[in-house]
Amino acid sequence: MKRSERLVVMTHYVLDRPRELVSLPFLAEKYDAAKSSISEDLAIMNKMFRKEGIGHLETVSGAAGGVKYIPAYSKDYSHQFVHELCERLEDPARLLPGGYLFMSDILGEPDTVRAIGRLFASAFADKEIDAVMTVATKGIPLAYAVAAYLNVPVVIVRRDPKVTEGSTVSINYVSGSTRKIQTMVLTKRSLAEGSKVCIIDDFMKAGGTINGMRNLLTEFNAEVAGIGVLAEAEDEEEDRVVDEYISLVQIMNVDDREAKIEVHAGNLLNRIE
Amino acid sequence: MKRSERLVVMTHYVLDRPRELVSLPFLAEKYDAAKSSISEDLAIMNKMFRKEGIGHLETVSGAAGGVKYIPAYSKDYSHQFVHELCERLEDPARLLPGGYLFMSDILGEPDTVRAIGRLFASAFADKEIDAVMTVATKGIPLAYAVAAYLNVPVVIVRRDPKVTEGSTVSINYVSGSTRKIQTMVLTKRSLAEGSKVCIIDDFMKAGGTINGMRNLLTEFNAEVAGIGVLAEAEDEEEDRVVDEYISLVQIMNVDDREAKIEVHAGNLLNRIE
């Protein structure tokens, strides 16, 4: 196989396996090339990934060494993406009763969802994460997108137990904005004890739902490794119950009557270098 | 930029944009190379994609011509993947009351879900599809995976209307296996009239839920372009209400008492060439 051909297949191979260790001897055998040639190929790939702003190859040395593809976005692209998203969200036609914002169209676009996943994965790149957790329904695509770039499984919490799931652990929690008592359920076999979990959701107002997931994790002796929300909204009623989190956008000054809304970049951009 | 470098970034660029027309003049300008060089690069990429069994580049000729990356899996890999999945599912520990099968762990693995999405996208490659539809909750990750490879949006049907969604269209349907009357809701602005829709779900017994989605599509003057389910199960109670569909696996001879189960390849494999 020529170098040009090998670069095509190797690029696909590592892009398809984010954060997975791909060993040098394995690649040398798979593509029938000298380890020194493979090393040179990987150096070219690393240089070009960085140049395109899509992440880099991390080198792991030693006998079992190789590379890991760490997906990321460049600072420039991250800013551009978030600002375009803010503009799209600022459309007053998105305003729904109660200060909610219609976002299902955006959350229905696989490429946008993938980009959001990559941004969160960039922001959480230095954390040790075993699983991504979300609550049904709207956070699910985001959770999968983040999990794909972190290369960890997704765990879905439900608001109703389902007969097709087996035994479950459930907790009650108080919804931050409505003060109603609600239930959250997680299938017992879906999360291992002691897991380090990244919580992802589409929307956070007072943070009651996310706090509920945090309490549920305690039941599994698992810990929160990070919290990411697509959109955070102001909540005047009370203080937020969740403090350490990353948000992509912030929804501010929602005015139902005047049909006005402001959407600003969230704190995620501060984390991207 | 050298050819070797260009191949790395171009491979990423087209893989990231399945089924999207990428024009030759655009690539020539983006990578500052002659159109003839870009053509040669694309020929190398096409050859290697086919060799790796990950699809091919479709050439679109004319002034606005270029290439489209059509994701697929080779016949060999498809068979291997489906048979490995059958083996994993045949574990009697997965049996749940009522003849259901625990699959949440598998559906929680982003790489497995992505592979399933690519298989369905291969099987539906020749159909004209505008959107992928599923019903909350477990079909959602599969629907996104299929939609990502088809490069179309996802539309999520809910079983309960949500205040944060705006006006909705709802229908009643009869669940095939339990004969209960249930409700299904879709937000009005989430699907354009006349859309050609691919329905995806994780599980089908009698097919009542999928039939419900089909009826909902009628309300939107939309049409069914294809139906894909991860697992179909035998239903002895009555005839299946859905006939034309693609399944990845078939669950057979479930025996709760003996804790036995058989899982075979579904009809999808017949479609992969």
Say whether pLDDT at B48 is over 80: yes
- Strand-pairing partners, residue A174, are A181
Q: Of the ranges A74-88, A124-138, A200-214, A224-238, which one carries the lowest mean pLDDT score?
A: A224-238
Burial class (CB in 10 A: 0-12, 13-18, 19+), A244: exposed
Out of A4, A48, A166, name the one closest to residue B96 (CB). A166
CA-based nearest residue in chain B for residue A160: B137
Averaged pLDDT, A116-144: 95
Question: In angstroms, rounded to a whole number, what is the distance separating the alpha carbons of residues B170 and B159?
Answer: 9
Question: What is the structure's pLDDT at A237?
Answer: 55
Residue of A235 and B270 predicted with greater confidence? B270
User: Given pLDDT bands bounded at 50, 70 and 90, which one contains residue A164?
Assistant: low
- Strand-pairing partners, residue A218, are none
Say whether pLDDT at A83 is over 70: yes
Q: State whether ipTM is beyond 0.90.
A: yes
Tell me whether residues A8 and B45 touch, CB distance under 8 A: yes
- In the numeric block, the tokens 């091919």 are attached to B56
Mutate to test the interface with B, among A2, A11, A191, A197 (most CBs of B within 10 A): A11
Residue of A42 and A101 predicted with greater confidence? A42
- Rounded to the nearest integer, the mean pLDDT of chain A is 92
- In the numeric block, the tokens 């991504």 are attached to A132
Question: In angstroms, rounded to a whole number, what is the distance separating the alpha carbons of residues B210 and B197?
Answer: 12
Amino acid letter, A126: D
Question: What is the structure's pLDDT at A176?
Answer: 67
Tell me whether residues B5 and A47 touch, CB distance under 8 A: yes
What 3-state class would DSSP assign to A162?
coil
Residue % of chain A over a pLDDT of 90: 73
Question: What is the structure's pLDDT at A243?
Answer: 78
Question: What is the structure's pLDDT at B53?
Answer: 94
Tell me whether residues A100 and B4 touch, CB distance under 8 A: no
Question: In angstroms, rounded to a whole number, what is the distance separating the alpha carbons of residues A11 and B76?
Answer: 22
Per-residue pLDDT of A208-256, as tens digits, reads 999 999 999 999 999 999 999 999 987 665 667 787 999 999 999 888 7
Question: What is the structure's pLDDT at B163?
Answer: 61
Omega cis (within 30) before B137: yes
Question: What is the structure's pLDDT at A239?
Answer: 66
Question: What is the structure's pLDDT at A175?
Answer: 78
Using left for φ > 0, alpha for ψ between -120 and 50, and beta otherwise, residue A197 falls in: beta
- In the numeric block, the tokens 């990244």 are attached to A198
Question: In angstroms, rounded to a whole number, what is the distance separating the alpha carbons of residues B69 and B14?
Answer: 6
Cβ contacts of A147 on chain B, cutoff 8 Å: 110
Using CA atoms, how far residue B193 sits from A108, A110, B214, B216, B231, in Å, is 17, 21, 14, 12, 30
Cβ contacts of B8 on chain A, cutoff 8 Å: 7, 11, 44-45, 48-49
CA-based nearest residue in chain B for residue A52: B9
Question: In angstroms, rounded to a whole number, what is the distance separating the alpha carbons of residues B156 and B36?
Answer: 44
Question: In angstroms, rounded to a whole number, what is the distance separating the alpha carbons of residues A214 and B153?
Answer: 31
Question: In angstroms, rounded to a whole number, what is the distance separating the alpha carbons of residues B110 and A193?
Answer: 21
Question: What is the structure's pLDDT at B258?
Answer: 84
Question: In angstroms, rounded to a whole number, what is the distance separating the alpha carbons of residues B49 and B61?
Answer: 20
Most confident of A55-69, A153-167, A257-271, B16-30: B16-30
Return the C-alpha torsion angle A74, A79, A82, A83, nearest 10.
-150
Cβ contacts of B101 on chain A, cutoff 8 Å: 164
Chain A and chain B share a number of CB contacts under 8 A equal to 147
Averaged pLDDT, B26-38: 96
Out of B11, B17, B97, name the one closest to residue A12 (CB). B11
Per-residue pLDDT of B210-247, as tens digits, reads 999 999 999 999 999 999 999 998 766 566 778 799 99
Per-residue pLDDT of B87-130, as tens digits, reads 999 999 898 877 778 899 999 999 999 999 999 999 999 999 99
Question: In angstroms, rounded to a whole number, what is the distance separating the alpha carbons of residues B55 and B46?
Answer: 8
Residue of A249 and B254 predicted with greater confidence? A249
Say whether pLDDT at A69 is over 80: yes
What pTM did the predictor assign?
0.94
Q: Of the ranges A61-65, A202-206, B118-122, which one carries the lowest mean pLDDT score?
A: A61-65
Mutate to test the interface with B, among A164, A200, A204 (most CBs of B within 10 A): A164
Averaged pLDDT, B17-43: 96
Residue B172 tokens read as 């009643």
Say whether pLDDT at B164 is over 70: no
Q: Of the ranges A104-108, A214-218, B170-174, B236-240, which one carries the lowest mean pLDDT score?
A: B236-240
A207 neighbors A241 (Cβ within 8 angstroms): yes
Question: In angstroms, rounded to a whole number, what is the distance separating the alpha carbons of residues B190 and B161?
Answer: 13
